[in-house]
């Protein structure tokens, strides 16, 4: 395992949020692969019931069960879990009250539906609770003793890190702030204690919230608003993951002149003629228009990049994969994250 410092050493719960469609699921999966590289074990948790993770890793829909979905570069494993609030509630009842059978009865009478669909605070605490449980989970004592006899140190964690493909920016602060949500529902008792334990992990230095964004106005604004909101809620802001970045096609000088409408059209006409194409003037005009469009886009992206930098958080840039995101693409994004120090 490399001994170099990584930006999130010590963090064990990585929450990935962002505007819809900016790449939360893709980047959560890439980050999980990056964190697992070199022999670690990472759990990728999906909470929105859309089976996006299974699709990404080309496996059948995930049951409510942790499954190995990928082997990371240089060893290491990514496991995945699609948390379903109903199954999480049954598990919770069984764990805290020994109520497996009662759970079945409750399901039959629709109580579970009530708890998971009507009371959003309960739903959220079940989802975040599952992720924080995985963060705290340790290898069973007997197994730990067998692997390292004669030590009294706490058993090692089952997962070195947990990555959560979380709800979008608009809902993230409320989603993670389960304490406030549950406070109105349960002032004491086991649900309250459970919420307190969940919040302990979420507020600790072990948890950060990363933001996926694009180099576009709306997603960037949502990212900056989300950062302010998450920080305001007393949670730790992680990095800004700038996704689908396209490299500029021309040198800065040519682009700057093009943006000002100073494209050398005569040179373009010469170039088109040299290429032996017909109607060189017409083609050159079309090219000049495209050049201006490209130059303006690059300028806008550069402004957005500056605004994102103003948040003062570590930033990572991930390329637009022109062939779409397949498994090879995920590994490529994971390597890019590692190269930039994210993992």
Q: Enumerate residues 83-122 that contact ligand ATP by CB under 6 A.
A: none
Closest by Cα among 105, 125, 123 to 115: 123
Pull the structure tokens for residue 58: 């080309």
Of 3, 80, 66, 23, whose CA–CA distance to 324 is shortest? 23
Q: How far is the CB of 70 from ligand ATP (least distance, A)?
A: 16
d(CA 260, CA 253): 11
Residue 168 contact partner, candidates Mg ion, ligand ATP, none, CB within 5 to 8 A by sort of partner: ligand ATP
Helix (H, G, I), strand (E, B) or coil at 23: coil
Whose CA is closest to 31, among 78, 83, 81? Answer: 78
- What is the footprint of ligand ATP within residues 236-255 (CB under 6 A)? 243-244
Q: Binding to Mg ion by residue 37, rule CB under 5 A?
A: no
Kindly state whether residue 71 participates in binding ligand ATP, applying the rule CB under 6 A. no
Would you say 195 or 318 has its CB closer to ligand ATP? 318
* Closest CB 60 distance from ligand ATP, rounded Å: 19
| Secondary structure class of 237 (helix, strand, coil) | strand
116 binds Mg ion (CB under 5 A): no
Alpha-carbon span 316 to 337, nearest angstrom: 7
Single out the residue of 103, 129, 168, 226 in contact with ligand ATP (rule: CB under 6 A). Answer: 168
CB of 322 to ligand ATP, least distance (A): 7
Q: Which does 243 bind (CB under 5 to 8 A by kind): Mg ion, ligand ATP, none?
A: ligand ATP
Q: Which residues between 46 and 105 bind Mg ion (CB under 5 A)?
A: 52
The residue from 218, 249, 267, 320 that contacts ligand ATP (CB under 6 A) is: 320
128 binds, among Mg ion, ligand ATP, none (CB under 5 to 8 A by kind): none
Residue 51 near residue 82, CB atoms below 8 Å: yes
25 binds Mg ion (CB under 5 A): yes
Q: Which of 1, 20, 71, 302 binds ligand ATP (CB under 6 A)?
A: 20
Say which DSSP state 212 is in: E
User: How many other C-beta atoms are found inside a 10 Å radius of the C-beta of residue 290?
Assistant: 12
Cβ neighbour number for residue 45 with a 10 Å cutoff: 27
Q: Which of 25, 37, 132, 213 binds ligand ATP (CB under 6 A)?
A: 25
Q: Which of 14, 18, 172, 223 is in the footprint of ligand ATP by CB under 6 A? A: 18
- Which residue's CB is nearer to ligand ATP, number 25 or number 128? 25
Q: Could you say which of ligand ATP, Mg ion, none residue 318 binds, taking C-beta under 5 to 8 angstroms by partner kind?
A: ligand ATP
In the chain, DSSP finds a helix count (H) and a strand count (E) of 15, 8
Which lies closer to Mg ion via its Cβ, residue 25 or residue 169?
25
d(Cα 186, Cα 256) in Å, to the nearest integer? Answer: 60
* Residues 238/8, Cβ–Cβ less than 8 Å: yes
Contact call for residue 163 and ligand ATP (CB under 6 A):
no
Token couple for 22: 């900016």
**Ramachandran assignment for 18, one of left (phi > 0), alpha (psi -120 to 50 degrees), beta (any other):** left
Cα separation, 185 vs 206, in Å, equals: 27
Q: How far apart are CA 212 and CA 164, in angstroms?
A: 13
Find the binder of ligand ATP among 311, 325, 330, 342 (CB under 6 A).
Answer: 325
* DSSP code, position 157: B
The footprint of ligand ATP on residues 28-47 (CB under 6 A) is: none
Of 22-30, 79-87, 222-230, 301-309, the window that binds ligand ATP (rule: CB under 6 A) is 22-30
Residues of the shown chain interacting with ligand ATP in the complex, contacts defined by CB under 6 A:
18, 20-26, 52, 168, 243-244, 318, 320-321, 324-325
Residues of the shown chain interacting with Mg ion in the complex, contacts defined by CB under 5 A:
24-25, 52
């Amino acid at each position: 395992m490399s001994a170099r410092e990584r930006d999130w050493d010590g963090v064990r719960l990585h929450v990935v949020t962002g505007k819809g469609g900016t790449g939360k699921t893709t980047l959560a999966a890439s980050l999980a692969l990056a964190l697992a590289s070199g022999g670690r074990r990472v759990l990728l948790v999906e909470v929105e019931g859309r089976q996006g993770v299974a699709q990404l890793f080309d496996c059948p829909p995930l049951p409510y069960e942790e499954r190995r979905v990928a082997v990371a570069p240089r060893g290491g494993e990514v496991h995945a879990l699609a948390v379903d609030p109903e199954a999480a509630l049954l598990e919770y009842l069984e764990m805290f009250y020994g109520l497996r059978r009662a759970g079945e009865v409750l399901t039959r009478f629709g109580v579970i539906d009530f708890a998971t669909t009507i009371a959003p605070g309960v739903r959220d605490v079940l989802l975040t609770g599952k992720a924080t449980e995985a963060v705290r989970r340790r290898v069973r004592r007997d197994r730990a003793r067998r692997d390292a006899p004669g030590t009294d140190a706490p058993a090692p964690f089952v997962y070195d890190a947990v990555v959560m493909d979380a709800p979008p920016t608009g809902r993230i602060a409320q989603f993670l702030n389960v304490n406030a949500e549950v406070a109105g529902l349960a002032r004491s008792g086991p649900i309250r204690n459970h919420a307190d334990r969940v919040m302990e992990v979420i507020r600790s230095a072990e948890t950060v919230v990363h933001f996926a964004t694009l180099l576009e106005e709306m997603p960037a604004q949502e990212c900056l608003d989300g950062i302010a909101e998450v920080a305001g809620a007393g949670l730790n802001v992680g990095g800004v993951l700038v996704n689908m970045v396209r490299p500029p096609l021309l040198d800065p000088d040519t682009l700057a002149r093009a943006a000002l409408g100073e494209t050398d059209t005569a040179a373009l006409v010469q170039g088109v003629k040299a290429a032996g194409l017909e109607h060189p003037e017409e083609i050159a005009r079309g090219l000049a228009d495209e050049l201006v469009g490209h130059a303006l886009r690059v300028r806008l992206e550069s402004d957005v990049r500056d605004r994102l930098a103003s948040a003062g958080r570590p930033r990572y840039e991930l390329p637009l994969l022109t062939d779409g995101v397949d498994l090879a693409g995920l590994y490529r994004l994971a390597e890019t994250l590692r190269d930039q120090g994210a993992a």
